[in-house]
Amino acid sequence: VADKAEAVRLAVAGALERMAEPKAYAPLLKQYKVEKVDGVRGRLLRAMASCGPTQKETLAQIDKVLAKEPNADVRAQAVLALAQLEDKAKVYQGLRNALRDASPKVRATVAFAIAQRRDTELAKDLEEAVLRESELDTKAWIEAAVVVVRGGDGAPFKNFLERELGEKVPAAGLGGLGGRGGAGRGGPGGG
């Protein structure tokens, strides 16, 4: 998680988020406090939330990002981190506040997070957000989230992270590790 290479730190944060390993929380927090790259900071925050969904320090960092962070991408990542926490009241309040964020990307990410959670308690908040939303793509995301929380299909959000936040979908197998999948020289079938 503290590797010199930005791509490695980003990949490790993504992997730890998926693993949700509580023992990883302390090293994630340590790296988060010294991380300078915005994209990595956002993913570290998500990994911290996944590995420590009850940690008060994670909520404090998320609150700080949502209140003061100038980078909309990092705020969007903070929304995704917030949605993983267990304190329902804090999560709901944070998502409600983020529905009024200045950035359409952040507002769209809130719609995605609420749809993922299928929070029926936030349906009214989404409906109100649709009425005040002026950015058309964001409005479409919020409308889609209303449909999902009312029991509809979540398919419209299938590629949300890739489309809106530029996240690469993790590749299965070892092909993504820089090798040629065993088809290179000396490997099976190689020359």
Name the band, by pLDDT with cuts 50, 70 and 90, for residue 135: very high
Rounded Cα distance between 72 and 86, Å, is 24
Residue 170, pLDDT score: 64
Residue 2 carries which side chain, given as an amino acid letter?
A: A
For residue 35, the number of C-alpha atoms closer than 13 Å in the C-beta half-sphere is 26
Provide the whole-model pTM.
0.87
Average model confidence (pLDDT) for the chain?
Answer: 90
Q: Identify which of 39, 100, 109 has the alpha carbon closest to the alpha carbon of residue 74.
A: 39
pLDDT tens by residue, 17-58: 999 999 999 999 999 999 999 999 999 999 999 999 999 999
Task: Tell me the mean pLDDT in the region 78-90.
Answer: 97
